[in-house]
C-alpha cells in the first residue's frame, strides 16, 4: 500500500512554518490521509518539517489530529519525528502540553531518546534523558566495535556513550 505523494506546496509551507498559507488548505486535508511510501499522516509530517508551535496547535486542536497515534506499519510517533529533526521546542510541546509518552517504542524498539541520539540531537537527547522513566542501558543497542576494535557501544560523543 502506497500513500499519496505530499504536494510540494504543502511541504514548503511546513518548512517555512507558514500557517497563513496553510489555513486555506486545512479544510481539504483529511485527518487520516497518508503520504509517501512510509505512510505518514499530515501531523507526522508537520512534526518532521515544521518548528511552528502555532501550526501544530492548529492541526491538533482545530483539525483534531491525534499526536499520540503511531503510524500503522512502523509504529513511529510524532515525537519520534520531532526528535529526529532536533527541534526541542516541538519535543517540549508534544511532551509537556500534549502529554506524549517519552518511553514509547517505535521501529526497532527505539524510543524517542534513541532517535535523538542516533541523529546526533544532543540538546533533545539530554532533555529527554531527564524525563525518561527508565535509565538507558547498554543492552538496548547491539554491541558495536569501539575504536579499539572491542565490543561495546560506540563512544563518539558524550550523548552516545549512554545508549538508549
Q: Note the pLDDT tens digit of each residue in 91-111.
A: 999 999 999 999 998 878 889
CB atoms within 10 A of CB 138: 11
Give the model confidence (pLDDT) of 113-124 as tens digits: 999 999 999 999
> For residue 46, which of 60, 36, 32 has the smallest C-alpha distance?
60
Q: What is the pTM of this model?
A: 0.69
Question: Chain centroid to CA 31: how far?
Answer: 18
Strand locations in the chain, DSSP E?
Answer: 34-35, 40-41
C-alpha cell belonging to residue 86: 532536533
CB atoms within 10 A of CB 72: 11
Q: Which residue has the cell 510524532?
A: 78
DSSP result, 29-41: --TT-EETTTTEE
> Residues of the chain whose pLDDT is less than 70?
1-11, 17, 19, 22-39, 133-164
In order of their start, the domains of the chain are: 8-136+151-161 (1.25.40.20)
| pLDDT (0 to 100) of residue 23 | 65
Amino acid at each position: 500500500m502506497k500513500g499519496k505523494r505530499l504536494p510540494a506546496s504543502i511541504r514548503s509551507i511546513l518548512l517555512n512554518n507558514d500557517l497563513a498559507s496553510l489555513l486555506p488548505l486545512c479544510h481539504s486535508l483529511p485527518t487520516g490521509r497518508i503520504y509517501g511510501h512510509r505512510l505518514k499522516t499530515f501531523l507526522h509530517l508537520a512534526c518532521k518539517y515544521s518548528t511552528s508551535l502555532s501550526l501544530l496547535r492548529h492541526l491538533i486542536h482545530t483539525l483534531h489530529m491525534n499526536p499520540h497515534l503511531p503510524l500503522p506499519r512502523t509504529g513511529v510517533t510524532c515525537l519520534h519525528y520531532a526528535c529526529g529533526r532536533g527541534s526541542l521546542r516541538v519535543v517540549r510541546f508534544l511532551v509537556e502540553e500534549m502529554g506524549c509518552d517519552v518511553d514509547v517504542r517505535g521501529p526497532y524498539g527505539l524510543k524517542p531518546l534513541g532517535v535523538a541520539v542516533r541523529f546526533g540531537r544532543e540538546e533533545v537527547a539530554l532533555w529527554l534523558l531527564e524525563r525518561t522513566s527508565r535509565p538507558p542501558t547498554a543492552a538496548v543497542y547491539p554491541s558495536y566495535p569501539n575504536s579499539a576494535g572491542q565490543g561495546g557501544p560506540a563512544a563518539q560523543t558524550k550523548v552516545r556513550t549512554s545508549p538508549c
